[in-house]
Structure 1
Amino acid sequence: MDVDDDPVVEEIPVFLSKTLAENLYLLQYPVKSSNSTFDNGQVVNSCVKPINQQIKVDYALNTASKNYDSFKGEQFAIAADGKDRERQQKPTFRSGTMDKQSFLSSKPIEDVNRYMVCVLQDREIHATPLNGIVSMRQMFSYFDKQDKRTKAEQKAEQDADVEEEEAKQVTVKFARTENDKVRKAREKSFNYISKMESEEPWCETFWHAKNSTAAELERQKLYCGNASRAGGESVLNVDYAEYLDLLISKEKTDRNIDSMLPSRVVCMHELKQMTLVDQIKIILKDAKVLTFQQIMDLLPDRNLAADKILRTLPMAGVLIRGNWVVQSESIYPEGSVSSINGVPAEQMCKARDYILYRFTQCDKLERHQLALITQLPTEEIREILLSIAKLNSDRSWSMLLPPNEEFTGNEQEISDRQNAFWTARADKFNEMEKSNKRVRKRSARSESKYDTKMSNG
C-alpha cells in the first residue's frame, strides 16, 4: 500500500526512561478470577530471593467476614503448626487460625528484553524496560507441613519400637569426573535448579501500599526527566522502512540465508549486532565451507567493501584451495572437549589443523590413516571431517566444495599469505607423520620378536 494512501493522523513522542530498568518487575496473577483484585489487598509480609528472582507475598484474609469459616480456619492452622504451637520457632499462622494466603512466583519467560511498561501522559509515552516477569500462584505449604510432621511422628514411633538396629550393607559409589558439556546440562536440570532455589535464603522486604508516598515517588521514576527530553542525541531519526526493520522480532530469520545455511542459523537481527569478525565466524561455522562470494552474500551489510572483508577473513577462517573454512579454535575453544570421548580442545585443534593441511595437498583422505597419525579415536576424526568434508562411495573423504581456482588467481596476495601460513606449519605436521611411522615400526618389531619367541618356545 502506498504511504500517501495512509496519512499520519497524529504523532505521539516516545521517551525511554531507564531509572527503574534494573529493578522493575511485572507481577501477574494468572489463576485469579476475573472479578477478584489484589489492588486493595492488605499485604502482611513479603520477601524475595534476588539471585533466583523469586517473590513471595502474603495477603491477609478477612477472618471477620460472614463468609469465613472459623472452624475450618482453626483446623488448617492446627494441621500446619500442630497443637503445640509454642514449640514452633516461626508458626505459619500466628493467630491460631488461617488468617492469610501466600503467593509464590515462577518465571514464565526468561528473556524479557523486548517487554516494557509504558505510561501515557499529556500525549507522551514514557517506556521503561522490564527486568523480569513473574507469575504469582497461591502456595499451600501448610499441607506440606502437615505431611512432614505426620511422617516424622510415624518414624519416631518406629524408632522407639526398635531396640537394636541391625547392620546394613553400605554401597560406596564414586562420582565421575564431568566435562563442561555434562556440567552445563546438569546445571539446566530441574533438580539442580530446584536445589539452588531452595538453598538461597529469603530476604525480608518492605511493601508499600499503592497510595503511599513511597509508591508515588517510585511511579514518578517511570517518566523521563526534562533533561533527557531536551537532549537531541537520543532521538530516533529513521525513515519508516528502517523503523519497521528495527521492530522485527529477534527470532525472525532472514529467508535469504535460511536456505543456504543447513545447520543452526543466527537470526539476522542478532548477526547485525556483532563485529565483522564474529559475523564471519558464525557464518563459516554454520555453513562449514564457503566461497568468498557466498560469504559476501550472507553478510547482513551488503554495502561492505570487498577489500575490508578480505582483510578480516584471515582472522576468522583459513583458505583451503580457494574456499574458506572456520578456524579450529572457533569450533573447539580453549577449555572445551569433544562431544563423544571428551578429547581436550588442544588435541582436537591440532588434529583438525593437520587434516586441513592434508586437504591443501590432496583431494581425498581416509579416516583410518588420519586416526593413526593424529592418535585420535575414529569417532573424533569423523566429527572433524563432517565439519569440512563429505563421505564418498569408496569410503574416502573429500572437501564439500571443489577447488576454487578463480579466487586463488584473482586474489594472489591473500592466497600467497595463506600458502605461507601452511608452509610454516608443514615441518610440524611432517614430524608428526614421521613420529607415528617410527612408533608403528617399533610396535611391528616388538610383535615380530614376540612371535619368534613363542614359536621357539
Structure 2
Amino acid sequence: MSGEENTLDNENDKVVMEVPVYLSKQLETLYIFQNSVRPRGSTVDNTVIRSRIKPVLQEVELEVGFDTKSSTFNDKKAEDIARRVDSSDDNKSKVYESGMVDRQVLTSGPHSSESSLNYAVGKMEDGALHLCPVKSIIQLQPSFAHGEVLVAESEKSGDEKDEVEEALPQKVSVKFQRHESERTKKLRAMTYSHYMKKRAEERWNETHYCQADSPESELERSKILCSHPRLTVPGMNLDQSQYLRNLVPYKPAKNITHPGSSAMVSIASLKSLTWLEKIKIVLLTAKIVPFGKMTTLLTDDPKEIPHLLLALQTQGIMIRGNWTLRSELLYPECTRSRYNGVPASIMCRARDYLLTMFYQQKYVSQIKFIDFVKIPREEAKEMLTDIAMYYTSKGWDLIFPDDDDFMERYPEVAKGQQKLLEDRRAILDVAFKEMHEPSKSPDVPRRQRKKSGRDTSGGTNDSSNDGSVPVRRRKKSAQNSGNF
C-alpha cells in the first residue's frame, strides 16, 4: 500500500522547472575556510596582514588585525602583553612592532581531506547551476602563541627558584628498531606523533592575500562558472523529423566573409551575443586591440570584467599587452589564403611564429620572416599589415604601444599568455628546424652515358673511380694494327 501511495505522490508532484547543471574544473585547488562565527549584522572588517600555507599537510595560518580604535579594546592590557612577550628570552626580534597586541593568529589543526571530496560550491548564473568541486574544508581557530610564551616564562622562573642541587645522573636505555611490516607503517603514519613530526619538517610558504573586492578575487570567483556551457549533449526528447534535422542540418548558401575583409557589426547587435562571439567579432574586425579599448567598446560594468577576461583568453592571444585573434580561428581548417591558396595549417604556423617574433623583439624584418617560414610575399605582407606598421630603417612594429598597465594590473593573465607564447615558440623552432634540414636520402649514383662500341675497356677503367669524363679512343685501323 505504501508503494502505491508513493507512486501517486510522484505523479501529483509536477516538475516546476528544469535547471541545467554544469561542472567547472577550472579551480583545481578550491578550499573552504570555516572561520569564527560573527553576527549577521556585524560591520567589523578584520584585515588579513599575513598569510602562509603548508601545501602537503594543507595547513593555513592567517594573521588578522584587531580594530584597536574600538571602544571594547583594552590598550593598556595589549601593551602589557606585548611588552612581556617581546622581552622574553625566546624572542630575539620584536613580535609586535606597534608595541601592543594588534593582531590575532588563526591556524588550522590536523584534519582529513577525504570527508570533503563529495562537496562542491554552486552558483546560479543565467538560469543554470554551475558546480565546482571542493578539495578540502579547513577549520581556522585562534592561536594564543603569546600566552604560551608567558606560561613558559613563568614556569622557567619557578624552576630556577626550586633548583638547589645539581641534577643526578640517570640511566639511559638503548632500544633497537624492529623491522616493521607495511600494515604497521600505515598505522604509524596515522598516529599523532608522526603527524607532528611531518608538521615540524614541512616549511611554511608565504602567500599573497587578495581582498574580496580586488580584481584578482573577481577573476578567481569567475572560474566557478563553466567556460563552455553550450558544449553539452541535449536530452533525447525529439521526434523523428527533428532528430534527422539536427543530425543532418540544412545550411542555406550564404556569403562567406574572408578574415581579411572588413566585416562591420553594429554595437547594438553585439550586446545580444555571447562573450565568446563578441570577442571573436571585435578581434576579427580590428585585428589587434588594447584591453582598454576592448572594455570601452563592450562593457561599462566592472563586474563583467572577469567574464571578458575569460572569453578573451579563449578567443585571443596577448602580444606585449595587446590582444589579437588566435591563428586557428583566423584561418579555419580546410581553407586557403586569398592570394596563392596556401593551406590553413601553414598559414597558422607562419602567423604563430610571427606573433612570437613580436613577443621577443620590438622590430621584425619582413625579409627574414619570409625566408624562415617559406610563405609567399603577399601572405606575409597581409599578416604584417594587420597588426603592425613599417618604420624606415627599423622594421615592422605593433600598431599599438606596449600595454604595461594591463600586464601590471593582471599579472597572472600576462604570465599565462607569455608561457603560452614561449611553449608555442619552442614547438615551432623544432618544426622549422626539421623543415630546413636537408633530407638524408641515400647517395644516388651519378648518371653515366651509355657505352658505345667505340669506347674501349681501358677508357672505362680510367674513369670509373675518379668521376672524370670518360676518354674516348678510336679503334686503330687495319693498316696501323697490321691485322686483316
TM-score, length-scaled by structure 2: 0.43
